[in-house]
Amino acid sequence: MGFEPKIQGIACNWCTYTGADLAGTTRLKYPQNLRLVRVMCSSRINPSFIFRAFQLGADGVMVGGCHPGDCHYGTGNMYARRRLAITKKILDFAGMEPERFRVEWISASEGKRFAEVVEELTNTIKELGPQTKFKIEK
C-alpha cells in the first residue's frame, strides 16, 4: 500500500527556496511529498501556519531559512529562530510528535543538503504514519 505523506514546506526566498531550485537544476532526486511554499523571509512565518498546516491534514511541516547571521534582511531569521523554537516546544508539550515539524537552515548553495533533508524527513514521517491528532475531518 505505502502511505505517501503530505509534507508542507515553507522556505525563504533567498536561501532555502534557491537551494531547492539548485537541487532541481542539478537533477538531484528527492521524494515528491513536499509541497513547497515560498516566503520572502523565515520571519514572515506566523506559527499559526504550522498549527493550521497540521489541522488541514499535513503529516509533516518543514521550515527552511537562511543560516542565522546570513539573513538577506539582516536579522529576520534571528526572530524566526525564537518563534519556531517556541512553536516546537508547544507542539511537543501538547503531545504531537516533534519529528513531524522540522526547521533547517539551508543556504542557496546547499542544494544537496536540501534534497537530503527532504529525503530524511519523508522517511521519518513515513514511519510515523499519518498525522491524526490535529487533522480536521469533515
Partner 1 sequence: MTDAKTIETRLKEEAKKLLESGVVSVVLGYGPGYDEKHPMPFAASTPEEAENLVFNEFCTANMARYIGRYPAGTKLAVAVKGADSRAVIVLIQEGKVKREDLVMLGIPFKGLKDQATGREIDEKTTGATYNPVIYDVLLGDLIREAAPSPYTVLAELQSMGRDERWAFWEKELGKCIRCYACRKACPMCYCDPCFVDQTRPQWADKSPNIQGNLMYHLTRFYHLAGRCVDCGECSRACPVNIPLYLFHKEVARECEEMFKQKAGMDINDKPVMVDFKVEDSNDILE
Partner 2 sequence: MKKITPEKFPAFVSALLGKGPLWAPVADGETVNFTLISDPVQVTLDFYNTTLSPKGVFFPQSEEIIRYTLGKERIESEAVPTDVKPQVVLGVRPCDVRSFEVMDAIFESGGITDPYWKKRRENTAIIGFAFDTVDPADFYNAFGIHAADERGSDLFLVKQGPDFLIKAITKKGEELLSALGLDDASADDEKYYNEKIARGPELKTRTINLEGAPDKLTRAFDSPYWQKAAMACISCGTCTFVCPTCHCFDINDETLFRKGARRRLWDACMFTNFTLEASGHNPRTKVSQRLRQRVSHKFSYYVKNFEVTSCVGCGRCTRSCPVNIDILSVAEGAIKEGEKQ
44 binds partner 1 (CB under 8 A): no
Within 8 A by CB and 6+ apart from 138, the residues are: none
What is the CB neighbour count within 10 angstroms for residue 86? 11
# binding residues, partner 2 (CB under 8 A): 3
Q: How far apart are CA 106 and CA 125, in angstroms?
A: 20
Q: How far apart are CA 35 and CA 60, in angstroms?
A: 10
What track of x and - describes contact with partner 2 for positions 53 through 92 (by CB under 8 A)? ---x------------------------------------
135 binds partner 1 (CB under 8 A): yes
Least CB distance from residue 58 to partner 2, whole Å? 13
Residues that bind partner 2 (CB under 8 A): 56, 136, 138
